[in-house]
């Protein structure tokens, strides 16, 4: 008997009930993780060798500051760096004394607890990453073969890429406007800024070099890039972009085989169903894993007080980025309402599990399994989700694009460099394009920011100012990235239904 309008089937009620309880459990995991990190984080940080790691970090900062001071040409800059050297030296002496005191204390129980918390988070993240490759391959091939003709595939591809660029450009625009109005870089303290080896190695590269590396991979890495020479090595390195390209080509090839290709199509359809069932089992572990990830990250940053000190030091920059991400979240909600014909509040709630997982893991790829389940439960077709979400998790980075533009202008403000209209246009273009190329590169956010900085001749050393708080903002922008992917799946699904 058909279900009456407004009624829900027993299966729908069951899914809704399960969704509510899973979401509540994840929220409990996050709250407990925050409480443990804030209340006991410092003790657990001391027990897990945090002071020793901080000593090594301060020694690197001190050595780099001395190097910069020797190379400084302006006397005022040399004096400024010398003042910073004195501050870092005092902090190094204080932390060394703290490390010596910790060695004399019995913190064996606290060390065991810290190890266990980090173990829970690491294992959950490994389980998520373990299922990513099977999920990408089976869902992409299943999604491609379900589209049918090459003409349909091309149309869907154009819609998807067009959506990615449009929303990415909107995010960059929001970031540029906000950072230009708020001006968070004025009077920034860069005493403990550090220019990492990755920045030193890559700051001489051009945007063309980086984009070519996205395609062919780094020299000497047969598993890197969009077109690796060894697909199995690419899979072992979780090179999702290469696997997406292969899956698209393989899926298209299957559609041209006609009757002979149907057994393979049926195999990948069944394999995709099995992988999604495994994803459902993984989600049951999410509250425990997310607790470990949240608590472990606060512990590794030195506890609640140390985290708050990082936030307050860059408070205006953090506020600018978070405001920009919030505004873009509203923009995406308007897009899903107007183009996807869905209630944005309902859709946002349905994706809550994926967004909270993104906040915990800071990885769109690791969150992909949960995102896939959330959107399919919200009646987005498997063919749309299977094509749009893996591709989006790899190249659609709205939150990252917003962050790159905001960070570049912040660094210019910190250095007292005025940017005119042409420079802002260049930042807009490079941030939009660099975010698309980011996932094929190790340490993607760092490298894409370097691309933007080099395009307008801004000092790469400014990145060091942001590194202390970047891990927190990375989680926030990842959640926006995931929501952008999910909105794209709803929009493309609506287009498929109308075509």
- pLDDT on residue 83: 86
- pLDDT on residue 329: 95
- pLDDT > 50? residue 442: no
- pLDDT on residue 207: 56
Q: What is the DSSP secondary structure assignment for residue 258, as one 8-state letter?
A: G
**Residue 145: enclosing H or E segment and its boundaries?**
helix 108-147
- pLDDT > 70? residue 439: no
Three-class secondary structure of residue 428 per DSSP: helix
Range of the domain at 174: 19-48+107-498
Distance of alpha carbon 168 from alpha carbon 481, whole angstroms: 10
- pLDDT on residue 441: 40
Nearest CA to 28 among 474, 472, 360, 478?
A: 360
Per-residue confidence at 339, pLDDT binned at 50, 70, 90?
Answer: very high
Distance of alpha carbon 216 from alpha carbon 222, whole angstroms: 9
Q: What is the DSSP secondary structure assignment for residue 238, as one 8-state letter?
A: T
Least confident stretch, 19-23, 188-192, 365-369, 441-445? 441-445
Distance of alpha carbon 286 from alpha carbon 289, whole angstroms: 5
pLDDT > 70 in the chain, percent: 87
- pLDDT > 70? residue 210: no
- Which of the two residues, 3 and 416, has the higher pLDDT score? 416
How would DSSP label each residue in 47-78? HTTHHHHHHHHHHHHHHHHHHHHHH--SHHHH
**Tokens 């708050």 label which residue?**
308
Give the mean pLDDT of 188-197: 69
Q: In this structure, is residue 56 part of a structural domain?
A: no
Sequence-distant (6+) residues with CB within 8 A of 222 are 228, 229, 230, 233
- pLDDT on residue 1: 38
Phi, psi angles (nearest 5°) of residue 301? -85, 0
Contact yes or no for 345/278 (Cβ under 8 A): no
- Each as own residue / partner, the long-range contacts of residues 428-433 (CB below 8 Å, 24 or more positions apart, any chain) are 428/169, 428/172, 428/173, 428/176, 430/207, 430/455, 431/172, 431/175, 431/401, 431/404, 431/405, 432/165, 432/168, 432/169, 432/172, 432/401, 433/207, 433/211
- pLDDT on residue 16: 64
How would DSSP label each residue in 73-103? -SHHHHHHHHHHHHHHHHHHHHHHHHHHHHH
- pLDDT on residue 233: 87
278-289 pLDDT, tens digit per residue, is 888 888 888 999
Q: In this structure, is residue 62 part of a structural domain?
A: no
12-49 pLDDT, tens digit per residue, is 565 566 667 878 888 898 899 999 999 998 999 898 88
pTM: 0.81
Q: In this structure, is residue 449 part of a structural domain?
A: yes
Phi, psi angles (nearest 5°) of residue 316? -70, -35
Q: In this structure, is residue 304 part of a structural domain?
A: yes
Distance of alpha carbon 408 from alpha carbon 424, whole angstroms: 10
Q: In this structure, is residue 61 part of a structural domain?
A: no
- pLDDT on residue 7: 45
Average pLDDT, the chain: 82
What CATH number has the domain bearing residue 347?
Answer: 1.10.3860.10
Q: Give the number of domains in the chain.
A: 1
Distance of alpha carbon 375 from alpha carbon 143, whole angstroms: 14
Give the mean pLDDT of 446-455: 73
Three-class secondary structure of residue 398 per DSSP: helix
- pLDDT > 90? residue 323: yes
- pLDDT on residue 322: 94
Q: In this structure, is residue 73 part of a structural domain?
A: no
- pLDDT > 90? residue 175: yes
- Which of the two residues, 496 and 209, has the higher pLDDT score? 496
- pLDDT > 60? residue 190: yes
- pLDDT on residue 258: 82
How would DSSP label each residue in 443-494? THHHHHHHHHHHHTT--GGGHHHHHHHHHHHHHHHHHHHHHHHHHHHHHHHH
Query: And the tokens for 52?
Result: 């020793």
Distance of alpha carbon 499 from alpha carbon 181, whole angstroms: 43
Q: In this structure, is residue 5 part of a structural domain?
A: no
Per-residue confidence at 123, pLDDT binned at 50, 70, 90?
Answer: very high
- pLDDT on residue 446: 63
Quick one: how far is CA 326 from the chain centroid?
16
Q: In this structure, is residue 13 part of a structural domain?
A: no
Angle between helices 463-498 and 382-395 (to 10 degrees): 160
264-283 pLDDT, tens digit per residue, is 989 998 998 898 888 888 88
């Amino acid at each position: 008997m058909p279900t009456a309008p407004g009624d829900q089937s027993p299966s729908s009620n069951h899914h809704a009930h399960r969704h509510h309880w899973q979401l509540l459990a994840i929220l409990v995991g996050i709250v407990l993780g925050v409480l443990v990190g804030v209340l006991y984080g410092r003790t657990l940080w001391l027990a897990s060798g945090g002071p020793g790691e901080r000593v090594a970090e301060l020694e690197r900062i001190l050595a780099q500051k001395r190097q910069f001071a020797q190379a400084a040409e302006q006397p005022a800059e040399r004096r400024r760096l010398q003042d910073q050297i004195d501050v870092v030296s005092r902090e190094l002496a204080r932390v060394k004394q703290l490390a010596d005191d910790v060695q004399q204390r019995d913190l064996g129980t606290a060390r065991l607890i810290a190890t266990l918390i980090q173990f829970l988070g690491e294992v959950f993240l490994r389980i998520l990453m373990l299922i990513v490759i099977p999920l990408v391959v089976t869902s992409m091939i299943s999604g491609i073969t379900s589209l049918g003709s090459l003409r349909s595939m091309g149309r869907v591809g154009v819609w998807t890429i067009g959506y990615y660029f449009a929303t990415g450009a909107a995010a960059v625009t929001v970031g540029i406007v906000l950072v230009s109005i708020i001006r968070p870089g004025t009077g920034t303290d860069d005493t403990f800024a550090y220019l990492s080896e990755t920045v030193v190695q890559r700051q001489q590269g051009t945007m063309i070099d980086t984009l070519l590396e996205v395609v062919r991979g780094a020299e000497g890495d047969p598993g890197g890039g969009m077109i690796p020479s060894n697909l199995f090595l690419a899979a072992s390195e979780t090179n999702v972009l290469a696997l997406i390209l292969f899956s698209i080509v393989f899926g298209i090839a299957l559609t041209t085989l006609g009757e002979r290709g149907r057994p393979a199509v049926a195999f990948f359809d069944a394999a995709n169903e099995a992988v999604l069932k495994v994803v459902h089992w993984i989600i049951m572990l999410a509250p425990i894993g997310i607790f470990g990830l949240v608590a472990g990250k606060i512990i590794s940053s030195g506890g609640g007080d140390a985290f708050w000190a990082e936030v307050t030091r860059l408070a205006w920059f953090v506020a600018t980025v978070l405001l920009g991400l919030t505004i873009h979240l509203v923009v995406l909600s308007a897009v899903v309402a107007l183009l996807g014909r869905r209630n944005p509040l309902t859709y946002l709630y349905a994706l809550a599990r994926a967004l909270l997982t993104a906040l915990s893991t800071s990885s769109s790829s690791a969150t992909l399994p949960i995102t896939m389940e959330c959107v399919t439960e919200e009646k987005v077709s498997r063919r749309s989700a299977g094509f749009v979400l893996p591709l989006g998790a790899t190249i659609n980075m709205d939150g990252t694009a917003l962050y790159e533009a905001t960070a570049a202008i912040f660094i210019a403000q910190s250095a007292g460099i005025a940017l005119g209209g042409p420079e802002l246009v260049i930042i807009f273009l490079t941030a939009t394009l660099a975010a698309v190329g980011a996932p094929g590169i190790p340490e993607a956010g760092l490298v894409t920011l370097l691309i933007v900085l080099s395009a307008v001749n801004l000092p790469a050393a400014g990145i060091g100012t942001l590194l202390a708080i970047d891990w927190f903002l990375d989680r926030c922008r990842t959640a926006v990235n995931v929501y952008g992917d999910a909105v794209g799946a709803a929009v493309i699904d609506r287009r498929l239904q109308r075509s």
